[in-house]
Amino acid sequence: MAESGAAMVAPERTASPKVDRIEQQFAAFFDGYRQRLRQQAAQLDPALQPSGYRTLFELVIGGPVGAGALAERLGFDKSVLSRQLHQLDDLGFVSREPDPSDRRAVVISATPDAVVRINQMRTDARDAFRGELSGWPEQDLDDLSRLLAKLAVLNDGAR
């Protein structure tokens, strides 16, 4: 039995420089992703937050949906989503219509202008990404695709 007041210490894990480097690269990658998300949000409107951009992007890709289902798809708390939808509505990027199957609920959709703008941004981003990868050897592209698929399997357990 442990002494009263003694601190419990987890066993030390074996150091793994390779895993540490991978972790550092993930951090750098996601920092870049967050920066791109901020830039894309600002491109639509300087006042738009990245989470608002993600919300609008999901509406464009996934189509009209109720607030509860949208919050679940995004992994947002309903209060966070409510603030984002309010801002998107004020900016003219979303519309709300009564749900035909339940008049107490609403269906949220991206406005036609928002769909055009998001789709153009997606095309531009895809073209830029293709350009950035165009100089990569085919084997590197195949390896990256294969390894990302393996990582995606690991993420399946987190959903």
Query: What residue ranges do the domains of the chain occupy?
Result: 48-130
What size, in residues, is the chain? Answer: 159
pLDDT in tens, the chain (159 residues): 555 555 565 555 667 899 999 999 989 999 999 999 999 999 999 999 999 999 999 999 999 999 999 999 999 999 999 999 999 999 999 999 998 888 888 999 999 999 999 999 999 999 999 999 999 999 999 999 999 999 888 877 655
pLDDT at site 145: 95
CA distances from 101 to 9, 96, 104, 140 (A): 56, 14, 9, 50
Q: What are the angstrom distances between the C-alpha of 90 and each of 45, 87, 94, 96, 139?
A: 11, 5, 8, 12, 47
Strand extents, DSSP E, the chain: 94-99, 102-110
pLDDT of residue 4: 52
- Predicted pLDDT at 103: 80
pTM (2 decimals)? 0.78
Query: What is the model's pLDDT at position 105?
Result: 86
pLDDT of residue 100: 86
Sign of torsion over alpha carbons 143, 125, 81, 28: positive
* pLDDT for residue 124: 95
- For residue 110, what are its two tokens? 């991206």
Predicted local confidence at residue 154, as pLDDT: 83
What is the distance between the alpha carbons of residues 118 and 113, in angstroms, rounded to a whole number?
9
CA 141 to chain centroid, in Å, comes to 23
CATH class of 48-130: mainly alpha
